Chains A and B, each alone.
Chain A
Amino acid sequence: MKRIYLDNSATTAVDPEVLEAMWPYFSEEFGNASSVHTVGQKARAAVEAARARVAELIGAQPGEIVFTSGGTESDNLAIKGVAEALSDQGRHIITSAIEHPAVLRTCRALEKRGFRVTFLPVSGGGLVEVTDLEAALREDTILVSIMMANNEIGTRQPIEEIGRLIRDVRQARGSPYPYVHTDAVQAVGKVRVDVNELGVDLLSLSAHKIHGPKGVGALYVRSGVLLAPQMHGGHHERDRRAGTENVPGIVGFGRAAELARTHLAERQRHMQQLRDHLEEGIARRIPDVLFNGDRERRVPHISNCSFRYIEGEALMIRLDLRGIAVSTGSACASGSVEPSHVLTALGRDRELARGSIRFSLCKDTTASDIDTVLDVLVEEVAALRALSPLAQPSETRV
C-alpha cells in the first residue's frame, strides 16, 4: 500500500541531503566540539557553520543561537530562564490559551513556584487580540510568550504588532522588560521569519519540523537578554546550555536550515496551493464540515476541519488503514478523551472538537496525493456517518 503522509506538523522526513551532511559526523568526524585537538576542532567548525546557517534562516547573528535538544527544551529554557533571571524584577508572565503544551505546562509549573500567569483568550478564528495583551500588561510583567503559528490550526499570531507594542511599553517605562518570546516551531521554514522584523527577544525553533533530524533545536536569544541556564554542567553554548553538542544533529539542522532558506518561496507557494486544493475539494464534496481557524492569517501547510457527526480518532484510524496519515485533536486512551484545548478555546463544542482532523503538508506532498486523499476521505466520512447515531437516521435505516 502506498502511504501518503499528511502529518508534517508532527514531524517531517529527513531530507536526503540533510542525512548525507550528517553521516560523517557519526563516524570519521566523531570529535567532541569542546576538545582542543584537531579531531575536536573539526567538529567545532561544523557546529559553528551550522550555527551561522540557522542564524541566517531567522535573520539573527550566530552568537544569538543556542542549540538545544528541540522545541520543547527551547521553550522551557526561554520561559524558565527568563523567569529565573528576572524574578527580582517581577513575577508576571503573559501567554495565550492555545500555546503548545511545552509553553502552557512550563507556565503552569512556574505558577507553582509563585509566578503569576495570564492566559489570553483567542477569537473564534484563533487569534490573540493585541488590545487584550495591552490590557493584561502589569508593572511586574517580565515576559510575553505568544506562539508565532499554532500547531493544530496553523493560525499566525500578530507577533510584529506585539513586538511593536512591547517596544513602546519598554520605552515608556525606561525598562528593558518585558521580554518577548515566540514559539516559532511551526512557522520557521514555512513563512518568512526574521527576528528583527518580529521584534522578539527569544524565539524557539526545531530541526525535525523542517526536514532535519529529531533531537535538535535552537533558541534564539537576542544579544544582551538575561537568561538563567536551565541545564548546568560544562561551559557549552557560552554557559547558556551545558552538555556536549549533538554534532551530527546540529550539522543536519544547519543543512536543513540552509535548504529551507534557499527554497522558502517555492515551498511556501507549493504547500499553499495544495492546501487550498485540499480545502476546496473537502468543501465541495463533503457536507457538514467546518474549517477551524482564521482562513487568512495562517501558515501555508496546515488545514484543520471538523466533520460533524463523526469522531476524529475513528476517522484518523480508518484513513490510516487505507495508508493515509493525519492527526486528530481527540485522542482517546483508557476511556478518557481530552478535547483539544485549542479548539475548545476557539469556542468549538465538544462534538466538533472531537470530530477534528489536521492535515499538514510539506514540500514533498504532490497534487496526486491530495486527489487520492480527497477520494478516500469522501468515502470514509460517508461510511462513518452511516454508522453514526448522531447523523440523520433516515439515511441509514434498514
Chain B
Amino acid sequence: MYQGKLAQLIQHPSHVGELENPSAMAEVTNPVCDDRLRLSIRVEDGIITEARFKVYGCAPTIATGSMAAELIRGKSLEDALRITREEIDRAVGGLPHTKIHCATLAVDAIWAVIDDYRRRNPV
C-alpha cells in the first residue's frame, strides 16, 4: 500500500514527541477528518533550532508531521513560512492523491506554531 520513503517515514518518523518548555506550540485539526497534528518548536535568535511533533490521524500524517519538523529545523521563521504543501509532498516521496490533505495539515501546523511564537513574542 505504502512503499519506499513514505513507508519508511510512517514506520520510523523522527522528531516525535513534545518539547519541554517550548518557545511555541500549536495543534491543528483537519476540519473534515479530525486528524490532529501538534507541533512544538524551540527558537533561538530567530532560528528554529528544535521541533517535535505528535499526531492523531491517518498514516501519511505521521510522515508529513515528521517531515514538517525536519524541514523547519535550522530555518528562520520567515523561511519556515515559505514551505509549501507541494514541498512536503515531494519530501515524503509523494502522497497518494487522496492523501494530499495530510501535507496541507502539516503546512497548517507550521503556520500555527509560528503564529503562536509571534503572539508570545510581539515585536
Contact A390 B16 (CB under 8 A): no
Nearest chain-A residue to B31 (Cβ)? A335
A388, B19: Cα distance in complex, Å: 14
Cross-interface CB contact of A389 among B13, B27, B99, cutoff 8 Å = B27
Contact B101 A313 (CB under 8 A): no
Contact with B along A281-317 (1 / 0, CB 8 A): 0000000000000000000000000000111011001
A176 at the interface (CB under 8 A from B): no
Contact B38 A398 (CB under 8 A): no
Nearest chain-B residue to A330 (Cβ)? B58
Contact A332 B1 (CB under 8 A): no
Nearest chain-A residue to B8 (Cβ)? A321
Knowing A332-B33, A337-B33, say if A386 contacts B7 (CB, 8 Å): no
B73 at the interface (CB under 8 A from A): no
**Could you tell me how many residues of chain A have their Cβ less than 8 Å away from some Cβ of chain B?**
27
B44 at the interface (CB under 8 A from A): no
Q: Is the interface of A mostly helix, strand, loop or mixed?
A: mixed
A368 to chain B: which residues have CB within 8 Å? none
B20 to chain A: which residues have CB within 8 Å? 397-398
A318 at the interface (CB under 8 A from B): yes
B17 at the interface (CB under 8 A from A): yes
Contact A389 B54 (CB under 8 A): yes
A175, B49: Cα distance in complex, Å: 79
B35 at the interface (CB under 8 A from A): yes
A311, B30: Cα distance in complex, Å: 14
> Shortest Cβ distance from B81 into chain A, in angstroms?
23
Knowing A321-B7, A335-B32, say if A398 contacts B52 (CB, 8 Å): yes
Contact B19 A398 (CB under 8 A): yes
Cross-interface CB contact of B18 among A309, A321, A398, cutoff 8 Å = A398
Contact A334 B101 (CB under 8 A): yes
Contact A332 B35 (CB under 8 A): yes
A398, B16: Cα distance in complex, Å: 9
B34 to chain A: which residues have CB within 8 Å? 337, 350, 354
Knowing A318-B11, A320-B1, A335-B101, say if A389 contacts B36 (CB, 8 Å): yes
Q: Is the interface of B mostly helix, strand, loop or mixed?
A: mixed
A231 to chain B: which residues have CB within 8 Å? none
A334, B97: Cα distance in complex, Å: 8
Nearest chain-A residue to B39 (Cβ)? A389
A393 at the interface (CB under 8 A from B): yes
B13, B17, B52, B56, most chain A CB atoms within 10 A: B56
Q: Which A372-398 residues sit within 8 Å CB-CB of chain B? A: 386-390, 393, 396-398
A398 to chain B: which residues have CB within 8 Å? 17-20, 52
A residues at B contact (CB < 8 Å): 309-311, 313-314, 317-318, 320-322, 332-337, 350, 354, 386-390, 393, 396-398
B residues at A contact (CB < 8 Å): 1-2, 7, 10-11, 13, 16-20, 27, 30, 32-38, 52, 54-59, 61-62, 98-99, 101
Which 4 A-B pairs have CB atoms at the shortest separation, nearest pair first?
Answer: A317-B59, A335-B101, A389-B54, A337-B33
Known A311-B56, A314-B62, A337-B33; further 12 A-B contacts with Cβ < 8 A: A311-B35, A314-B10, A314-B57, A317-B59, A318-B59, A321-B10, A332-B99, A334-B101, A386-B17, A389-B56, A396-B16, A396-B18
